[in-house]
Structure 1
Amino acid sequence: MKNYYRTEYLVNINNRIKTHDNFVILWVGGGLCGQIRKYILGKYIEKKYNKKVKYDINWYKYNGLDDRKKFNRNFDLLKIFPDLDFEIANDYEINIYKSCFRFDLNPLYQFNDLLLEYKNVYLDGTPYDKNCFYEIKEIIKNKIDFETYLNDKLDDKNKYVLNEIRNCNSVAIHVRRGDFAIYGIIEDEYYINSINEMIKNIKEPKFFIFSDDIDYVKNNIIKKLSKTVLFYIVDINDNDKGYFDLFLMMNCKHQIASNGSFGYYAYCFNKNKDKVLITPEGMRDYYIENIDKI
């Protein structure tokens, strides 16, 4: 009997949705890179399927932590890029769509048929389409311009590092640990071998190291490097200012990536046409250009 009343309620709510309310709601969670990914996916859906897209950011209100429940995850996208056409769904819309039109596949990559078949869709999880960058690259280029929005917001310490990065053969190294302890962390030898490979192929490289566990990097990676290796540890931004680290990384001329999206987007937005990338083999499919790997 309870199920009957619940179904009747949902049907009645659904009948109140007007024609102009047919749209897709995308769940948004995680750090800045996850927010950028959802924005890109939304623009892709609007262009390819001619559907209006709204975004559910309630995760930041009710959760807002990394997978280890240690670091905050803030909704920074509109703080950095206030001019984005990023429409946030209200609670009424979210409740209806999550109750009636929610799809949560694991992993939710094959969502195309859903958008062709249904007028109303709530896409939960982490849907993605590798063609997004190609399809809307001009939108991304015009709307997500870190240089325009962040350059004037850098403090003196970040300006100093940026100047160092731009005036040498800089190589960004991102060592992600933190919540990746849950999913599997890349071995130290990967970074050490990658540094040695860069030294062989890049003239006078200087390595700029970014990590959410700098102490580990100092004790387990840097100590194993030759004393002739030039490096700079970037530890000036806390977790709430991680987008400054992303900006600094994408200004480096080359990159040694980790197995997370932070390094992926630093690479994607890097404007150096001759950039050299070394990435874990398991990340090959996530990068959009030819890559170098050990």
Structure 2
Amino acid sequence: MIAFHAQGGLGNQLFQYAAARRLALLHRAELVVDPYWFDNCRPNETPRPMELQKFAVDMRMASLAEQQQWRFYRSRFGHLVQPFLPLKLFRENGYGVNLSVMGAPINSYLYGFWQSEDYFRDIRPQLLTELVPSISPSDADLEVLELISQSNAVSVHVRRGDYVSLQSASTYHGTCSLDYYQKALEHVVGRIADPVFFVFSDDPDWTSENLRFPHTTHYVRHNNADSAFQDLRLMSKCKYHIIANSSFSWWGAWLSDQSDNLVVAPDNWFAGGRPTPDLLPADWIRI
């Protein structure tokens, strides 16, 4: 068995799944997700729904008995009782890749965010088939997909939401400035002929009022919070990407199978300049 602690929004869940999925494939082991956090997040955290089951993922949910047994793994003191537990605990340490996790043995429990493709790059073809929504595109999605297929489509993601409304998230993450988007626009326009922009955001009203491009632009706003996972499919079908400091748009870009994929990302991912040496793939452009 390979088990992992799931937490956070969809982008974070995908990182956690991908890292654990690689180990499960390596060991030909069952993959089990511990969903405890979703009903028990702390007051300074943004409540999120479990969304991995909306994709063609190969895993099962931990039983209530397993979740109870694994409470020690979720505790900060889990390492103290590790010798008495059935699974080996791997708890993320720092912002860089934890090499020990890459070789974690069978019967391991992963607790962390694992935000680097280094943890799962070698199973990319497998993930491209699994991380597709199980629910078919809506009529509105199909209309956008048609527009994307007919153009040099550039996805643009603007993350606001709890980055603005929740003080702890604002202090930790910060938001990408309009200056960042202007510089990213200039970089893309200087390399791509006749770009068409598709803008995605959890605050579409603010975005449409404040972010304007001197090119054909579609503000994609038909998917609500419950169907926002469908936006990942739309973003991944774009040829080029301007992402926010958001794991959601990270995945929208990474899941693109375009051979000439161009991705522009913010150099500062966290407020305060916390280092992220392994978070962005080497061929992505940092601004």
Greater fraction of residues in helix: 1
Partner of 2:194 in structure 1? 204
Of residues 8, 14, 29, the one that matches 1:36 is 14
Q: Which of 1 and 2 has higher RCO (CA within 8 Å, sep 6+)?
A: 2
Residues 25, 97 of structure 1: 8 Å contact kept? no
Stretch of structure 1 that moved more, 249-258 or 53-62 = 53-62
Query: CA separation in 2, counterparts of 1:28 and 1:280?
Result: 25
Residues 148, 237 of structure 2: 8 Å contact kept? yes
Deviation digits for residues 64-93 of structure 1, max 9, x if unmatched?
Answer: 999445xxx222222332xx3202221222
Deviation at 1:120, TM superposition (A): 5.6
Aligned residues: 258
Q: TM-score, normalised by structure 1?
A: 0.76
Distance 1:107 1:53, change over 3 A: farther
Partner of 2:110 in structure 1? 123
**Residue 288 in 1 paired to residue 271 in 2?**
no
Residues 107, 126 of structure 1: 8 Å contact kept? no
Structure 1 unmatched ranges of 5 or more: 1-22
Partner of 1:245 in structure 2? 231
Give the fraction of aligned pairs with identical amino acids, expressed as a percent: 24
Deviation digits for residues 258-278 of structure 1, max 9, x if unmatched?
Answer: 111111111111011112221
Distance 1:114 1:245, change over 3 A: closer
Of residues 56, 67, 87, the one that matches 1:94 is 67
Q: Write the letter of the residue equivalent to 2:58.
A: D
Deviation at 1:234, TM superposition (A): 0.6
Residues 155, 199 of structure 2: 8 Å contact kept? yes
Partner of 1:80 in structure 2? 55
**Residue 163 in 1 paired to residue 146 in 2?**
yes
Residues 277, 292 of structure 1: 8 Å contact kept? yes
The equivalences for 1:1-294 within 5 A come to: 23-48=1-26, 52-63=30-41, 67-68=45-46, 73-81=48-56, 84-99=57-72, 100-101=81-82, 104-107=91-94, 109-110=97-98, 112=100, 121-127=108-114, 130-146=117-133, 149-150=134-135, 153-181=136-164, 182=170, 183-222=173-212, 225=213, 228-282=214-268, 285-288=278-281, 290-294=283-287
Q: TM-score, normalised by structure 2?
A: 0.77
Deviation at 1:30, TM superposition (A): 1.9
Deviation digits for residues 139-173 of structure 1, max 9, x if unmatched?
Answer: 32343345xx45xx222211111111111111100
What SS does the aligned partner of 2:268 have?
A: helix
Distance 1:114 1:32, change over 3 A: closer
Deviation at 1:194, TM superposition (A): 1.4
Query: CA separation in 2, counterparts of 1:292 and 1:60?
Result: 34
Distance 1:119 1:80, change over 3 A: closer
What's the C-alpha RMSD, in Å, of the aligned pairs? 2.9
Deviation at 1:110, TM superposition (A): 2.6
Residues 25, 55 of structure 1: 8 Å contact kept? yes
Residues 257, 264 of structure 1: 8 Å contact kept? yes
